[in-house]
Structure 1
């Protein structure tokens, strides 16, 4: 398995353009497969599910296949009632007509301001302008407060045949998945049944995207979609085979990387924060503790201030409903032990402060109460986060 420069797998094309939803940046794009691709998705758990997200979920559930996804930034088309649903449906139909495919093979994704309607005159013109190219402009067209596109490509083997998997996502604020102001799109030229693909995606989402948090808020538009079009002509992946494990490993690597990039690019963030929990009674206990620690505003603020305040970490662990022995916890910050057997250690404050100046902070938590592990990712809490979100709409 090898990470390579970003490229589309065989049989995928894309485009990204500016249609006037934003002042000057790219704001509209699509991904297109030459043939219908097996499709799987994971979606927001917010009860106010946006019209495009609901439409894509329905399209994938129709036959676990998609051939195209059209997407925009700036406007979420969420909390827009029947008009919003009609607009998303019109987008789906217009793309289907242009590509001469069935509407149920078209997904729709939007991100941006909640409550605003799409200017459909601009959207219609944009659909007619979109081309099928090898450029990567669509990875920019979905960005909102992100500072840069987040992309990755891997090569991996299926029965001796080289396949490619490429993913990109957006996400910077309102991040606390089950899924959360994030859109993720992963493409591969491997061959796999849609139902099996859904099983793998659902499993991996819980280990990756659902283990990141920036600010504890979950958006209305979030989703991750995986498309597998089979154009590498490798044998079909079968459940519980060596090829199945190779594919799952590749998907896990892609999703982990993208999840980390979202956390690292959190609004106003200066540091990526990773929590690693070991020797927990169960994987769920480990995941709960890891995510609680990276999600604590007090922990996040302390790390921004480069303050080795381990009391905030251990108190956060203590308010979770995870099962653990409160007398046996070890904690280290960027490799420097600060707690042993739940008691504070003597350490040099200046040395720790210097270690916490790094742009990645790793919090290692050993519970000494089992064999399970868990990870989560977040970022520090800065003044700039408040500035960005105090003026997001205006």
Structure 2
């Protein structure tokens, strides 16, 4: 196997060359490579026009729009680029589709949301339930396994279950759910299944064909691209839904769900992001189609990130007073992404974040919009957790520096 090319990878990201900052705030948004920045700037310079015109700039915009949808389709392994809906962010797309899906439901129908999700995959569906008189059932995650267990879902399913909103990977604990099994159970009961893959996409390559869901949403700014939300929907399901659109808008897919003028420059950046992932695969020895090269990149990312995660978790757990929120057993790392959250029995989470920031280490503290996981774990909503998120461009030195700062603060507290 080709050695992981960390120096080559880091050289692709201009932010990493400009300072010694350790960007470990990745669950909130990742860095972007040179190629994505160049693509966005190029589109703004040469394709700053609306779609459908008979002049060169508009034709270039048309080509960018189509290429981005094709690239997004490859990323999630969609059956067609027409199944891809691209919007400003995942949460906005969820609220938009909640209005649409809600029109197909009747009072008394049941929906299931989880105690593991980001609010972007809870609030839209609660609003849908309120608007249409739906019954909301809450699905908790197991505090021992840190995952949503099939038997807990089975206990909630009924003939009236019409919709399940499920997270692929938690933005607090990093746990990965067995979404293939859970989706199969819900669809067998007659429910539509929506999967939030925002936190999975930076670390594992999504495959909607293998999962068998009805919708899968992610955000390209979480996987090294521009600020866009990406939604895949099953063709048959999308065609059956009544869209909200202006009267002169096309009824074709994906046009019927794409309102307003598209963000052409960001679409160019999205295609460049997919190409970057394929390039990263090439640097680790992958060949073949663009998706095959992306798969090679993710395989290399996973192995590299697991080593950094092993060191970070081991170092944190060796410190007194630290409580880890998530899977700590290295033998179970296949069931988590490298988003590591912790609390301390005396020190504020915000104190850790401030101290780390003072040493050029970026992390987040608080609930990070994971309100339900915080409540389920009995955490203070204001304090939440300290969240450290590893990406494939982070270095061993950055992990050691982070542990040194955290360790010094813990030891200082213990001595006081």
TM, length-normalised to structure 2 = 0.24
TM, length-normalised to structure 1 = 0.25
Q: Which has more strand, going by share of residues? A: 1
Q: Which has more helix, going by share of residues? A: 2
**Higher RCO structure, 1 or 2 (CA under 8 Å, sep 6+):** 2
